[in-house]
Amino acid sequence: MSASTPIQTLTPMAIQARKGKEPIVCLTAYTTPIARLADAACDVVLVGDSVGMVLHGLPSTLGVTMDMMILHGNAVMRGIGKALCVVDMPFGSYEESPAQAFRNASRLLAETGAAAVKLEGGVSMKETIAFLVARGVPVMGHIGLTPQAVNVLGGYKVQGRNEDAQRVLADARAVEEAGAFAIVLEKLPRSLGADITNRLGIPTIGIGAGPECDGQILVIDDMLGLFADFRPKFVKRYANLAEQAEQALASYAQDVRSRAFPGPEHSFGERT
């Protein structure tokens, strides 16, 4: 392949075909520069509604709007070359009815150029997922800990323990039967994550659901260590950028106050 040959963007069907094969690498992104970095390493880049907490300082994902998702979806798509871009449907944009879900999902895809949407819920969303898929909207499911339902779930707790495992398994089956091309499993016991992965014919993308899943996803700011005081058990930090940024900012402030910056190399002389 020559350097000028366009890179073929991954499709939902290509991701679905990865079931049981090479693990699927996924990360969130919300801006063009981060999307470019993620695109080089990832198969799937998710414009997560976690943007509300990560970039906008909201206490949960519940305040995220369609306009916010479209804004960040467009930014991410400008940085995507090969990865599949999936955009989260925000709280309140799909729960009312399948028709409402289609209006908003079609708007997300049309206005961002992304290839698929993700929505939360299992059995309760089966009809909605099927409605979207039948009308040409690829859907990634999301079960287990569903952050948009945090008030009903009583916090960000592990789901599917003991007798609750049957409920989560029923949700997984419903999402697959509805036609989703993949499903996110969040904050489940490892054994349940493995069981669901073995039972389903579509890829499972784990976030705190064990290494047996067909792929993994993390919030990119978490794995880069941009939040010094936030360390969920399921996150592995691959960098500590918050500490490095603090040191860089302190050095900058010191240089400005001491007039060490800008130096001669950063200044312009008279035109000759």
The whole domain housing 167 covers 12-240
What pLDDT does residue 156 have?
Answer: 84
How many domains, in total, are found in the chain? 1
- Residue in 20, 19, 39 with CA at minimum distance from that of residue 181: 19
Q: Is the pLDDT at 3 greater than 50, yes or no? A: no
Residue 254 belongs to some domain of the structure = no
Catalytic residue, from 186, 212, 246, 265: name it: 186
What pLDDT does residue 230 have?
Answer: 75
Residue 117 belongs to some domain of the structure = yes
Residue 272 belongs to some domain of the structure = no
Mean predicted confidence (pLDDT) in 206-231 = 93
Q: Is the pLDDT at 102 greater than 80, yes or no? A: yes
What pLDDT does residue 2 have?
Answer: 39
Answer whether 227's CB lies under 8 Å from 221's CB. Answer: yes
DSSP letter assigned to residue 206 = E
* Tokens standing for residue 12: 């939902």
Mean predicted confidence (pLDDT) in 112-134 = 98
231 Cβ neighbours under 8 A, 6+ residues apart:
237
Mean predicted confidence (pLDDT) in 162-187 = 97
Residue 113 belongs to some domain of the structure = yes
> For position 155, which CATH number holds?
3.20.20.60
Phi, psi angle pair for 84, to nearest 5°: -75, 125
What pLDDT does residue 272 have?
Answer: 60
Q: Is the pLDDT at 197 greater than 70, yes or no? A: yes
Phi, psi angle pair for 122, to nearest 5°: -115, -100
Euclidean distance between CA atoms 154 and 150, whole angstroms: 6
What pLDDT does residue 150 have?
Answer: 84
Residue 246 belongs to some domain of the structure = no
Residue 45 belongs to some domain of the structure = yes
Answer whether 177's CB lies under 8 Å from 194's CB. Answer: no
Q: Is the pLDDT at 227 greater than 90, yes or no? A: no
Active site residue 186: yes
pLDDT band at 270 (very low <50, low <70, confident <90, very high): confident
pTM over 0.95: no
Mean pLDDT across the chain, nearest whole number?
94
pLDDT band at 144 (very low <50, low <70, confident <90, very high): very high
Phi, psi angle pair for 118, to nearest 5°: -125, 140
Residue 255 belongs to some domain of the structure = no
Which residues are annotated binding-site positions for Mg(2+)? 49, 88, 120
Residue 249 belongs to some domain of the structure = no
Euclidean distance between CA atoms 208 and 124, whole angstroms: 23
pLDDT band at 38 (very low <50, low <70, confident <90, very high): very high
Q: Is the pLDDT at 138 greater than 80, yes or no? A: yes
pLDDT band at 61 (very low <50, low <70, confident <90, very high): very high
Q: Strand 182-186 and strand 84-88: pairing?
A: unpaired
pLDDT band at 73 (very low <50, low <70, confident <90, very high): very high
Q: Is the pLDDT at 1 greater than 50, yes or no? A: no
138 Cβ neighbours under 8 A, 6+ residues apart:
12, 115, 116, 117, 181
